[in-house]
């Protein structure tokens, strides 16, 4: 293998292995038929929706890092829009996946909570909050 190909491979692995591992963790958790929760309905709702927001905020930050490392010339809106659209696609596909997991169901509302987490990470990253 040539040195430039090896360098290229290491760069892509460094850029995209973390978000791929994080996405695999999301997939693994969403494959569980029953997730542990709290006994109080509202507390359980808040816990689970906060978890949705957190894991997708992290996914956005990892994807943003990957895009920055592999496409340094990408400027302007594309720099943040590509990771947002990748996160949206993954959130939608994850909810679709949950429709086929016994004991689970996918909802558009959960995609909204996922994207709320992405939005908060975006706003924090650009120091709007």
pLDDT digits (tens, 9 = 90+) for 80-102: 999 999 999 999 999 999 999 99
Print the domain residue range for 61: 3-125
Count of the separate structural domains present in the chain: 1
Closest CA to 91 of 114, 109, 68: 114
When pLDDT is cut at 50, 70 and 90, the band that residue 5 belongs to is confident
**pLDDT score recorded for residue 57:** 98
Separation CA 103–CA 115 (nearest Å) = 24
């Amino acid at each position: 293998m040539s040195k430039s190909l090896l360098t290229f491979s290491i760069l892509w692995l460094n850029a995209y292995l973390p978000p791929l591992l994080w996405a695999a963790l999301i997939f693994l958790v969403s494959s569980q038929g029953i997730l542990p929760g709290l006994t109080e309905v509202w507390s359980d709702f808040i816990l689970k929706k906060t978890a949705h927001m957190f894991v997708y905020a992290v996914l956005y930050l990892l994807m943003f890092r990957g895009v920055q490392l592999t496409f340094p010339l990408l400027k302007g809106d594309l720099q943040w829009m590509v990771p947002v659209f990748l996160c949206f696609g993954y959130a939608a596909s994850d909810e679709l996946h949950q429709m086929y997991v016994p004991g689970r169901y996918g909802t558009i509302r959960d995609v909204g909570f996922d994207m709320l987490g992405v939005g908060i990470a975006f706003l924090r990253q650009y120091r709007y909050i």
